[in-house]
């Protein structure tokens, strides 16, 4: 399938284009960009740097993807951006490359990034995420699969958001948010489990009940996290979902919300 490139678009000869790509008016695709089959750039989209972008991504007006890191330590070394397939980037989204030589920012597949989303240098974002308007990641943030980032949420550098977690609108995230939890506030605290999200993802009632019990152990029974994790590890037949929660909390360096 032939590509459709508007006469006003600028595509560098060193860009690597797949098939069936639509590039609209006043877009710029720079040297080093590798663009997968079926991608669509509406208009005024900029793709830059050493950016490998998978198939069937859609970019709305004024998106800027693959620009250099904003970290002041960056002095021009080769760094990278890797984007999966089937993502939607709405108006004015920005995604930066890594900082250290050879480092990458990584965005998964099938995400929906609403207007003014920002993904900073060296972040790792999973699959099937939703970033509401102005959801913002500082550098080195990790976001798991099926996470929902509320509108105007700001996430501090080096924080982690676990799979199936959700942040409330206007939240300030300064510590890790464990999997399956809802965090809200300024600074944010875990308020409950993401029961609606888990139901929509097909978690059965037994698993959701186990996650609720684990939440109670971690947040309601007035123990430190070391003691809580010992209790959770002692559960018979606790299942992989609780193991994921245990491993996430045990690995936290910033503490959990």
Same domain, 9 and 100: yes
Q: What is the pLDDT of residue 40?
A: 98
Query: Of the listed 122, 127, 145, 176, which one is catalytic?
Result: 122
Catalytic annotation present for 16:
no
* Whether 238 contacts 224, CB under 8 Å: no
Structure tokens at 2: 């032939």
Q: What is the pLDDT of residue 209?
A: 96
**Total number of domains constituting the chain:** 2
Find the CATH number of the domain harbouring 216: 1.20.1180
> Are the C-beta atoms of 86 and 110 separated by less than 8 Å?
yes
Q: What is the pTM of this model?
A: 0.96
- Whether residue 213 is found in the same domain as residue 104: no
123 shares its domain with 211: no
Residues 124 and 36 in one domain: yes
| Residues paired with residue 104 on neighbouring β-strands, in sequence order | 80
pLDDT digits (tens, 9 = 90+) for 113-136: 999 999 999 999 999 999 999 999
122 catalytic per annotation: yes
Residues 44, 118, 121, 146: which is the catalytic one?
Answer: 121
The yes-or-no answer on residue 71 being catalytic is no
Quickly list DSSP for 132-172.
-TT-EE-TT-EE-TT-EEPTT-EE-TT-EE-TT-EE-TT-E
- For residues 14 and 123, membership in a common domain is answered with yes
Tell me the backbone φ, ψ of residue 243, rounded to 5 degrees. -60, -40
Choose the catalytic residue: 111, 139, 150, 162: 139
Domain for residue 23, yes or no? yes
The residue range of the domain holding 243 is 199-250
pLDDT of residue 26: 98
pLDDT value at residue 230: 95
pLDDT confidence of residue 222: 86
- Residues in the chain, pLDDT under 70: none
Sign of CA dihedral 121, 70, 159, 187: negative
Domain assignment of residue 112, yes or no: yes
**How many CA atoms lie less than 13 Å away from 167 in the CB half-sphere?**
38
Q: Which CATH number does the domain housing residue 110 bear?
A: 2.160.10.10
Residue for token digits 């994921």?
A: 244
Q: What is the pLDDT of residue 46?
A: 98
Shared domain check, 206 and 91 = no
């Amino acid at each position: 399938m032939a590509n459709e490139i508007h006469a006003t678009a600028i595509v560098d000869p060193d860009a690597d284009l797949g098939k069936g790509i639509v590039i609209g008016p006043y877009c710029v695709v720079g040297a080093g960009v590798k663009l997968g089959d079926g991608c669509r750039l509406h208009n005024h989209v900029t793709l830059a740097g050493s950016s490998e972008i998978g198939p069937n991504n859609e970019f709305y007006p004024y998106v800027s993807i693959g620009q250099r890191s904003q970290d002041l330590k960056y002095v021009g070394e080769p760094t990278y951006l890797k984007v999966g397939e089937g993502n939607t980037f709405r108006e004015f989204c920005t995604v930066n490359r890594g900082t250290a030589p050879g480092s990458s920012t990584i965005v998964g597949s099938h995400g929906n990034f609403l207007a003014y989303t920002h993904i900073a240098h060296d972040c790792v974002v999973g699959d099937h995420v939703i970033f509401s308007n102005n959801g913002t990641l500082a550098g080195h943030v990790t976001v798991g699969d099926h996470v929902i980032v509320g509108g105007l949420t700001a996430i501090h550098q080096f924080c982690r958001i676990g799979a199936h977690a959700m942040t409330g609108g206007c939240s300030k995230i300064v510590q890790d948010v464990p999997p399956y939890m809802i965090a809200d506030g300024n600074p944010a605290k875990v308020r409950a489990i993401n029961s609606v999200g888990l139901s929509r993802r097909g978690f059965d009632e037994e698993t959701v009940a186990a996650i609720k019990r684990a939440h109670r152990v971690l947040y309601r029974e007035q123990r430190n996290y070391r003691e809580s994790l010992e209790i959770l590890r002692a559960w018979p037949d606790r299942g992989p979902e609780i193991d994921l929660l245990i491993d996430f909390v045990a690995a936290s360096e910033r503490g959990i919300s």
